[in-house]
């Protein structure tokens, strides 16, 4: 790649929030037609840097040069008109309006003072076709999958004649096939001379799609390198600021062998829920971590919600703690000793305006009351104990939970369930979107809890988490349990083959499946 003048050069960017450095002399350079990865732990300053670039935040000092000119955008909208478009994690388009409307929102074509629908629909369809997306652009956006919605967001960005597209964790809600399509789109953009800043937590993706990577830590830029010149371990070391040996020792928090499994805490057979789950089977014993693997859309979350009573199943039998159970509301399952951490921390987990204390005791509270009045002293003692036990970083127990980092929010949610002393804990993507340090902490905590006799059902999209963490793995494909692998046989190739519903490949791999 010609190292001529960069398209974007952010130099010595400083930004303080109430005295604390969010960015300290941070730097970011992007060449024309380059895909630049941007990684770092939560709180490393990635989002702040992007927000300074797009005008959502003001920088305190430093210089931003874009396309040869010093710029300081007043707002994300101004940045968009200046050629920088951002696609956020949560797609911020209008679900009820049509695809075409969303693409042309704010600059609709007009004809004789009326909206020129025909032209908008035609242009929108053409735009999407460039990315190999063939859909009816007159349908409301919400009828399409997240992946398609993301393509629409990208098409909208491109239609703004963007020269730089920023993607903030675009793959977090896509399955592998959709990720592949997204990567094709990114390559297409690059071929057309558009640069991309790609923020992700998944290191594999960096190697697949990025030309270079910038690593941030504590508000500083600590490394910029071509992808070809750096291996994963060095990347992790740069993000964590630890030395290599330390990183190698603790790849995940799941270490050591597990104790013998105890009695059955969950057995589900022939579960069917809606269209997504057809015939799922699952079994968890006390002291066991059971992994539930499968591609996105394979029905993992739906199975978990059915067991928890959040969306009761249409068919099938569930046994909890050895007894037949048919929870129709979460409160039924909770009464039997089940806890459930949803994959969507913000939407279904935390109550953002409530304090850490109130969030932790939300599920336990009915047991902490006498005649409906909360026993404040006991509450306080329990909250203090779990904050210490899980090492939750919070200014004090009255701090609002929305002010905590993602990892600490997740710990608060774990504490919410652990303080109810559950026998079965269902964890849906327990480490998604959490920085590497907190991730390892949470993984070792799960392991520790299982060693103490808790039955854990863990859903994860990260293969290594399942491979290293689970004592037994159930693989779902298209709503059916297609494999039941003991720890020894749950290798990455075996799980992937099962996900692809290709049982022949498992035997070919050397592991004889039942």
Angle at the Cα of 41 (from 40 to 43), degrees rounded to 5? 105
In the bound state with another protein, the residue whose beta carbon lies nearer, of 67 and 335, is 335
Site string for another protein, 67-86 (x = CB under 8 A): --------------------
Q: How far apart (Å, rounded) are the C-alpha atoms in residues 36 and 199?
A: 9
Q: In whole angstroms, how close is the CB of 54 to another protein at the nearest point? A: 15
Distances (CA, A) of 356 to 369, 376, 416: 18, 14, 10
Does residue 347 bind another protein (CB under 8 A)?
yes
To another protein, the closest distance from the beta carbon of 348 in angstroms equals 5
Nearest approach, Cβ of residue 184 and another protein (Å): 34
Residue 35 CA to residue 198 CA, distance in Å, equals 7
Smallest distance, another protein to C-beta of residue 368, A: 8
Please identify which residue in 352, 384, 452, 502 interacts with another protein, judged by CB under 8 A.
352
Determine if 330 is a binding residue for another protein (CB under 8 A).
Answer: yes
Tokens of 189: 């953009």
Choices 107-115, 231-239, 266-274, 335-343 (CB under 8 A): range interacting with another protein: 335-343
Stretch that binds another protein, among 72-80, 278-286, 349-357, 446-454 (CB under 8 A): 349-357
Q: Does 396 bind another protein (CB under 8 A)?
A: yes
Asked if residue 453 binds another protein (CB under 8 A), the reply is no
User: Is 393 a binder of another protein (CB under 8 A)?
Assistant: yes
393 SS3 class: coil
Note whether 292 and 304 are within 8 A (CB): yes
Quick one: which H or E segment has residue 428?
strand 424-428
Interatomic CA distance for residues 437 and 239, integer angstroms: 10
For another protein, give the closer residue by CB, 20 or 388. 20
140 CA to centre of own chain? 25
Does residue 425 sit in helix, strand or coil? strand
Q: Which is nearer to another protein, 140 or 366 (CB)?
A: 366
Q: Between 256 and 372, whose beta carbon lies closer to another protein?
A: 372
Q: Nearer Cβ to another protein, position 181 or 434?
A: 434
Reference 215, options 34, 46, 12; nearest CA is 46
Judged by CB under 8 A, the chain residues 168 through 227 that form the site for another protein are: 218-219
Q: Which two tokens stand for residue 195?
A: 């640069």
The maximal CA–CA distance of the chain, rounded, in angstroms, is: 76
Q: Which of 50, 186, 286, 334 binds another protein (CB under 8 A)?
A: 334
Does 395 engage in binding with another protein (CB under 8 A)? yes
Task: Select the residue interacting with another protein from 121, 171, 200, 342 (CB under 8 A).
Answer: 342
Please select the residue that binds another protein; options are 40, 45, 455, 469, rule is CB under 8 A: 45
Query: Segment near another protein (CB under 8 A), from 2-10, 16-24, 91-99, 150-158?
Result: 16-24
Total of chain residues touching another protein, rule CB under 8 A = 47
Pick from 11, 21, 190, 389 the residue near another protein by CB under 8 A. 21
Check binding of 20 to another protein (CB under 8 A).
Answer: yes
Give the per-residue SS3 of 313-373: CCEEEEEECCEEECCCCHHHHHHCCEEEECCCHHHHHCCCCCEHHHHHCCCCHHHHEECCE
**Residues 200 and 193 sit within 8 Å (Cβ to Cβ):** no
Q: In this complex, which beta carbon is closest to another protein, that of residue 348 or of residue 478?
A: 348
Give the per-residue SS3 of 15-78.
EEECCEEEEEEEEEEECCCCEEEEECCCCCCHHHHHHHHHCCCCCCEEEEEECCEECCCCCHHH
When binding is defined by CB under 8 A, the residue of 32, 37, 40, 43 that contacts another protein is: 43
CA-based end-to-end distance of the chain: 51
Least separation in angstroms between residue 38's CB and another protein is 17
* Beta-ladder partners of 370: 373
Q: Which of residues 372-391 bind another protein (CB under 8 A)?
A: 372-374, 376
SS3 assignment, position 456: strand
For residue 487, the 8-state DSSP code is: G
Q: Write phi, then psi, for 332 (nearest 5 degrees).
A: -65, -45
Among residues 5, 61, 75, 369, the one that binds another protein under rule CB under 8 A: 369
Minimum CB distance to another protein smaller for 218 or for 509? 218
Residues near another protein (CB under 8 A) are 17-22, 43, 45, 218-219, 308, 310, 329-331, 334-335, 340, 342, 347-354, 358, 362-363, 365-366, 369, 372-374, 376, 393-396, 399, 402-405, 416
């Amino acid at each position: 790649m010609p190292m001529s003048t960069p398209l974007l050069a952010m130099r010595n960017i400083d930004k303080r929030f109430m005295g604390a450095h969010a960015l300290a002399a941070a730097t970011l350079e992007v060449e024309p037609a380059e895909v630049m990865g941007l990684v770092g732990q939560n709180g490393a300053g990635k989002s702040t840097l992007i927000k300074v670039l797009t005008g959502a935040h003001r920088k305190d000092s430093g210089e931003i040069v874009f396309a040869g000119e010093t710029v300081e955008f007043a707002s994300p909208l101004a940045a968009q008109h200046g050629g920088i478009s951002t696609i956020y994690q949560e797609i911020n388009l209008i679900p009820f309006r049509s695809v075409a409307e969303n693409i042309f929102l704010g600059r609709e074509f007009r004809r004789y003072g009326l909206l020129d629908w025909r032209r908008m629909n035609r242009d929108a369809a053409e735009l999407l076709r460039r990315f190999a997306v063939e859909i009816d652009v007159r349908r409301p956006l919400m009828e399409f999958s997240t992946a398609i919605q993301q393509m629409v967001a990208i098409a909208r960005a491109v239609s703004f004649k963007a020269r730089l597209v920023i993607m903030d964790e675009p793959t977090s809600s896509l399955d592998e096939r959709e990720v592949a399509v997204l990567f094709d789109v990114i390559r297409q953009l690059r071929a057309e001379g558009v640069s991309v800043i790609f923020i992700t937590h998944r290191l594999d993706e960096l190697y697949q799609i990025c030309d270079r990577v910038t690593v941030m830590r504590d508000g500083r830029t600590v490394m910029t390198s071509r992808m070809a010149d750096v291996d994963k371990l060095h990347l992790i070391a740069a993000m964590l600021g630890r030395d290599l040996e330390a990183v190698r020792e603790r790849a995940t928090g799941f270490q050591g062998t597990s104790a013998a499994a105890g009695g059955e805490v969950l057995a589900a057979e022939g579960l069917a829920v809606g269209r997504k789950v057809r015939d799922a089977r699952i079994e968890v014993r006390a002291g066991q971590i059971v992994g539930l693997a499968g591609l996105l859309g394979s029905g993992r979350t739906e199975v978990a919600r059915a067991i928890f009573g959040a969306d009761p199943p249409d068919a099938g039998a569930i046994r909890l703690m050895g007894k037949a159970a048919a929870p129709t509301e979460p409160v039924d399952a909770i009464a039997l000793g089940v806890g459930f951490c949803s994959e969507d921390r913000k939407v279904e987990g935390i109550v953002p305006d409530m304090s850490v204390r109130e969030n932790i005791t939300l599920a336990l509270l009915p047991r902490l009351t006498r005649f409906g009045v909360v026993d404040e002293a006991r509450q306080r003692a329990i909250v203090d104990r779990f904050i210490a036990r899980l090492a939750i970083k919070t200014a004090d127990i009255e701090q609002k939970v929305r002010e905590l980092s993602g990892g600490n929010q997740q710990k608060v949610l774990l504490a919410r369930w652990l303080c109810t002393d559950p026998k079965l804990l269902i964890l849906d993507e327990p480490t998604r979107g959490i920085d590497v340090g907190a991730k390892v902490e949470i993984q070792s905590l799960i392991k520790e809890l299982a060693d103490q006799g808790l039955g854990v059902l863990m859903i994860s999209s990260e293969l290594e988490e399942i491979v290293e963490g689970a004592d037994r793995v159930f693989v779902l494909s298209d709503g059916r349990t297609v494999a039941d692998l003991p720890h020894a046989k749950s290798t990455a190739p075996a799980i992937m083959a099962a996900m692809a519903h290709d049982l022949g490949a498992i035997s070919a791999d050397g592991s004889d499946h039942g």
